[in-house]
């Protein structure tokens, strides 16, 4: 059996990076095999097949012609002992099967709630809707502009609203000022990105993409149609490879409104209001105008409640169905939800995931610690731990632009690793960079990059860190409470800057499966001696929070509380695992126990060099390890740690020689 050090030096190929492989041009069997061989020669032992804009129309989504090339790629991967992840959509966001869901049944088109301002005392003409579909379902968080004031239809005095076929009346509500508002459910103008350029054969610079209609992800019948068109066909074709070569299927940022062309609407579907009422536990009807009018009482609160309910409905209709299908077919579901802090949706992924894209997180920038995107690394890794999953993934580098550097690419990987990621999905390796394909969500971070000759070093280093973060025990006794659709970052920033590791705990665990007593919270092998409350909790969490507060283990935090006060309150509950002097706010720490070794990952997240005396609690003889080479040198506990900008090292102690 290989020792810890032998495996760290040569981790199994299971821990390879698995890049998106953009199939974005006319495909050739020989070229597919050549590129796969090139991947493996550079330390990449897997790929995620992502049909992408630029495919010719002869290779339509789920066509026999396209699936023929899947056969070739999967067979070649099998021959080479590589791993493959399938992608469940023709571009993105997932759920429309490149428009085939709506093509099969126009009633499956994405729908929304809209408003019509009614003149006083004008009755609503009875609608003539199409028969309502049967419903189950869930939802996701809409961008704020969907609920902006406006977007409704204004009627002249004396006019009666006439509802078109396909529209249904949800409710008529009278506002406090006497204004009457009709809320309707109707099809919405929304699309997903397509696989083909509309101007194929013309001047490439003048091309536009196809825009297939988005499907209704809150309609269980539409979701079942999607599963039949994509998942069932994948199973029929590739079932013999499930669990061996094909290790997962990837769903990508599903949204109940696709990519909307219109504003002033809210996610919805026929029959959604009774589901919202059921989820919230009260009748939301009187609060419907708050979705559009800022002057409604507690408008922001009601919008947040509606958004949360849509997210929970999306869990029921979309995520639960995909999860159950994958469970039945022994094929892990992976991918990521639409938002960086959609922690609730992660429970349906066998491999929870998130997505570093659009330069939303950057080195030497507040975004690495502040804002919604800063929570995504801990979102996926915390879900992995608390749900008992083995892996969690992060896409990275997507649309970071041609200016992305080698240093930035390495920094993004380490930003993920220090937060617990153990499967990286680089975005992306391009099959073709012909014409405008080179500029579609760049850069190519693989074969067409300036660092391809150095990629084996990057791949080996990522494999080592992925292995370390897998099948290991996270040594961490602090949790921050999060909601299903929102994770606070203010307290997290303080903890990061003071070398206090933490996990996000979704509040539902407090009344579902966590054990809460006077010693703290126990869940999935973790024991949290302190829980930080950084935002208003759900009422159902009240009994657990009261018990924690009575035992002194609940720390209430607010943005105006000084960082030193938060740390001082934490110290008696969770003594520091790492102590540094002088302070090093750019230093990040992750502590794991693996194969009899205590391992601290130490990452200088800033570009300027770092030097500080560091003491590790309970550490014995230490070795400083370079994850790029595996090289080891002795390190004296309590001595100076020096790191150049963006450097990540390991301090490893054999627990058999550890002492206090």
DSSP codes, 325-361: HHHHTT--EEEE-SSTT-TGGGGG-SB-EEEEETT-S
Instruction: Give the pLDDT confidence score for residue 634 in this predicted structure.
Output: 96
Question: What is the per-residue pLDDT across 405-423, written as a single tens digit (0 to 9) for each?
Answer: 999 999 999 999 999 999 9
* SS3 label, residue 203: coil
Residue 533 DSSP symbol: E
Residue 136 is encoded by which pair of tokens? 């189950």
* Residue 256 C-alpha from the chain's centroid: 16
Q: What percent of the chain has pLDDT over 90?
A: 87
Find tokens 């992925």 and name the residue. 466
The alpha carbon dihedral of 374, 507, 316, 323 has a sign of: positive
Q: What is the pLDDT of residues 457-492, one digit of tens each?
A: 999 999 999 999 999 999 999 999 999 999 999 999
pLDDT at 178: 84
Strands 46-51 and 20-23 turn out to be: parallel
**Residues with Cβ < 8 Å from 562, sequence gap 6 or more?**
none
**Can you tell me the distance from the alpha carbon of 463 to that of 17, in angstroms, rounded to the nearest whole number?**
7
* DSSP sequence for 381-430: HHHHHHHT-S--EEEEEET--TT--HHHHHHHHHHHHTTT--EEEES-EE
β partners of residue 506: 482
C-alpha–C-alpha distance, residues 193 and 259, integer Å: 8
pLDDT in tens, 557-615: 988 889 899 999 999 999 999 999 999 999 999 999 999 999 999 999 999 999 999 99
Band of pLDDT at residue 154, cut at 50, 70 and 90: very low
**How confident is residue 658, by pLDDT bands cut at 50, 70 and 90?**
very low
Q: Tell me the pairing of strands 46-51 and 83-87.
A: parallel
pLDDT of residue 263 exceeding 70, the answer is yes
Which strands sit side by side in the sheet containing 393-398, from one edge to the other? 353-357, 393-398, 423-426
- How far the first Cα of the chain sits from its last, in Å, is 30
Distance in angstroms (rounded) separating the CA atoms of residues 344 and 505 = 10
The structural domains of the chain, ordered by start, are 4-87+339-468 (no CATH), 98-220+259-313 (no CATH), 475-575 (3.40.50), 579-657 (2.60.40.1180)
267 three-class SS: strand
Task: Give the residue carrying structure tokens 């609407």.
Answer: 265
Flag whether pLDDT at 144 surpasses 70: no
Higher-confidence residue of 135 and 475: namely: 475
Q: For residue 186, what are its two tokens?
A: 């109707």
Taking only the tens place, the pLDDT of each residue in 207-245 is 789 999 999 999 999 999 999 999 999 999 999 999 999
Buried b (16+ CB within 10 A) or exposed e, 307-345: bbbbbbbbbbbbbbbbbebbeebebbbbbbbbbbbbbbb
Of the candidate ranges 123-127, 397-401, 554-558, 637-641, the one whose mean pLDDT is the lowest = 123-127
Question: Exposed, middle or buried: residue 133 (CB in 10 Å: 0-12, 13-18, 19+)?
Answer: middle
Contact criterion met (CB below 8 Å) for 529 and 553:
yes
Residues 6+ apart with CB under 8 A from 59: 26, 27, 51, 65, 66, 69
What does the pLDDT read at residue 656? 63
Q: Which residues partner with 76 through β-bridges?
A: none
In this predicted structure, what is the pLDDT of residue 135?
34
CB 320 within 8 A of CB 138: yes
In sign, the C-alpha dihedral spanning 396, 244, 77, 472 is: positive
Question: SS3 letters for 578-599?
Answer: EEEECCCCCEEEEEEEECCEEE
Asked whether the beta carbons of 251 and 331 are under 8 A apart, the reply is: no
Q: Would you state the pLDDT for residue 86?
A: 98
Give alpha helix (H) positions in 220-317. 220-229, 231-238, 272-280, 299-314
Residue 145 has pLDDT above 80, yes or no: no
What residues form DSSP beta bridges with 125? none
**pLDDT, tens digit, 9 for 90 and up, residues 507-544:** 999 999 999 999 999 999 999 999 999 999 999 999 99
pLDDT band of residue 149 (cuts 50, 70, 90) is very low
Give the pLDDT confidence of 19-32 residue by residue, as tens digits.
Answer: 999 999 999 999 99
Predicted local distance difference test score (pLDDT) of residue 2: 76
Instruction: Give me the residues paired with residue 333 across strands.
Output: 249
Q: How far is CA 521 from the centre of its chain?
A: 25
Kind and range of the H or E run holding 89: none
């Amino acid at each position: 059996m290989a020792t810890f050090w032998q495996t760290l030096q040569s981790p199994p190929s299971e821990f390879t990076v698995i890049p998106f492989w953009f199939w974005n041009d006319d495909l050739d069997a020989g070229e597919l095999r050549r590129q796969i061989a090139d991947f493996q020669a550079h330390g990449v032992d897997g790929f995620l097949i992502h049909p992408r804009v630029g495919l010719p129309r002869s290779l339509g989504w789920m066509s026999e012609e396209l699936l023929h090339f899947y056969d070739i790629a999967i067979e070649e991967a099998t021959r080479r002992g590589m791993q493959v992840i399938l992608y469940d959509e023709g571009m993105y966001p997932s759920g429309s099967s490149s428009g085939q869901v709506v093509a099969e049944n126009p009633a499956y088109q994405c729908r929304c709630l809209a408003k019509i301002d009614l003149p006083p005392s004008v009755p609503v003409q009875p609608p003539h809707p199409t028969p309502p579909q049967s419903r189950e379902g869930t939802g996701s968080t809409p961008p704020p502009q969907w609920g902006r004031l406006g977007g409704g239809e204004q009627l002249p005095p004396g006019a009666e609203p006439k509802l078109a076929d396909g529209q249904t009346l949800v409710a008529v509500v009278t506002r406090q000022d006497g204004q009457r508002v009709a809320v309707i459910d109707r099809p919405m103008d929304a699309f997903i990105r397509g696989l083909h350029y509309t101007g194929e054969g013309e001047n490439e610079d003048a091309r536009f993409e196809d825009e297939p209609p988005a499907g209704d992800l809150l309609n269980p019948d539409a979701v079942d149609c999607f599963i039949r068109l994509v998942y069932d066909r994948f199973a029929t074709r590739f079932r013999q490879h499930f669990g061996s070569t094909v290790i997962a299927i990837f769903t990508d940022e599903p949204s109940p409104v696709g990519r909307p062309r219109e504003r002033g609407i809210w996610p919805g579907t026929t029959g959604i209001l009774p589901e919202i009422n059921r989820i919230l536990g009260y009748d939301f009807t009187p609060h419907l105008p708050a979705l559009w009018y800022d002057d409604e009482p507690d408008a922001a609160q009601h919008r947040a409640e509606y958004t949360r309910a849509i997210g929970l409905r999306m869990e029921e209709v979309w995520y639960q169905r995909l999860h159950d299908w994958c469970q039945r077919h022994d094929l892990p579901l992976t991918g990521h939800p639409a938002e960086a802090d959609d922690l609730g949706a992660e429970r349906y992924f066998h491999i929870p995931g998130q997505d570093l894209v659009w330069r939303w997180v950057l080195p030497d920038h507040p975004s690495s610690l502040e804002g919604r995107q800063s929570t995504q690394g801990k979102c996926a890794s915390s879900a992995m731990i608390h749900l008992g999953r083995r892996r969690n993934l992060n896409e990275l580098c997507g649309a970071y632009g041609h200016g992305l550097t080698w240093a930035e690419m390495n920094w993004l990987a380490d930003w993920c690793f220090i937060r617990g990621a153990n499967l990286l999905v680089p975005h992306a390796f391009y099959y073709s960079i012909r014409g405008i394909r080179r500029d579609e969500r760049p850069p190519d971070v693989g074969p067409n990059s300036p660092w391809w000759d150095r990629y084996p070093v990057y791949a080996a280093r990522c494999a080592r860190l992925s292995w370390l973060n897998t099948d290991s025990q996270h040594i961490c006794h602090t949790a921050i409470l999060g909601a299903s659709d929102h994770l606070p970052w203010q307290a997290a920033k303080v903890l990061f800057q003071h070398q206090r590791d933490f996990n996000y705990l979704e509040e539902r665990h407090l009344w579902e499966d966590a054990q809460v007593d006077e010693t703290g919270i126990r869940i999935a092998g973790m024991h949290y001696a302190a829980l930080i409350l950084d935002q208003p909790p759900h009422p159902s969490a009240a009994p657990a929070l009261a018990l924690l507060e009575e035992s002194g283990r609940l720390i209430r935090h607010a943005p105006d509380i000084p960082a030193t006060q938060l740390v001082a309150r934490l110290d008696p509950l969770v003594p520091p695992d790492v102590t540094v002097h002088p302070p090093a706010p750019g230093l990040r720490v992750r502590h794991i126990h693996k194969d009899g070794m205590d391992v601290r990952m130490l990452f200088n997240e800033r570009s300027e060099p770092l030097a500080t005396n560091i003491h590790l609690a309970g550490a014995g003889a230490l070795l400083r390890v370079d994850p790029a080479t595996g090289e080891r040198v002795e390190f004296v506990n309590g001595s100076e740690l020096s790191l150049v900008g963006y450097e990540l090292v390991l301090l490893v102690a054999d627990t058999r020689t550890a002492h206090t």
